Chains A and B, each alone.
Chain A
């Protein structure tokens, strides 16, 4: 079970987690990560754009990779686009598995890869200044640890 959605609308993390486990009685662990717009040094809004088509493909590829690496029963990835303000949800990654280790690891793998491979770009607004966010080295190294040399 694989659910991938890119949407402007908000999501209900609780409802998505319930949907992911419903009817799957082998589920013994459900891990979810919700990314939220943080009120960083005067940030008033974030605007997200994406590459339609490639984004969905890139996320699906990593969900497939997670399914190969860990015995997971399902995964849900939802990413919002458009204008968001501090306190808004940005992203949900939820993974269901029989045991917690696979669910924790697969969820972490998915969010690390989403941050470094899925084609989204953030613009930050502070007062009247709007700037594109620069990619972080710490995100690249977080993702790199899943593919040891």
Chain B
């Protein structure tokens, strides 16, 4: 599964994408956030306040209880500021 990071999430983590294998422990977006935050360092910094993070699965906005079973691409980013 491809994981993408944008804006300050990308800056804190220090990379724009990576591959992560799904396990039974990562059933939902919230599980994935917990796994990533648990890596410490820039990951912990990026996910320190999940209320400031938004997620997309397969390029659709989702809530953190969304399942990852059919996810090919998951993205994490701050609330959007375009327009």
Interfacial residues, chain A to chain B (CB-CB below 8 A): 35, 48-51, 53-54, 57-58, 79, 90-91, 111, 114-123, 132-135, 139
Contacts and interface: CB of A to CB of B under 8 A. Distances in A.
A119 B79 CA distance: 8
Interface of B: 4, 6-8, 56, 59-61, 75, 77-83
Contacts of A118: 80, 82-83
B7 A54 contact: no
B61 A53 contact: no
Contact of A91 (B7, B56, B82): B82
Contacts, number: 70
Contacts of B80: 115-121, 135
A76 B82 CA distance: 16
A53 B2 CA distance: 14
Contacts of B83: 35, 79, 90-91, 111, 114-115, 118, 120, 139
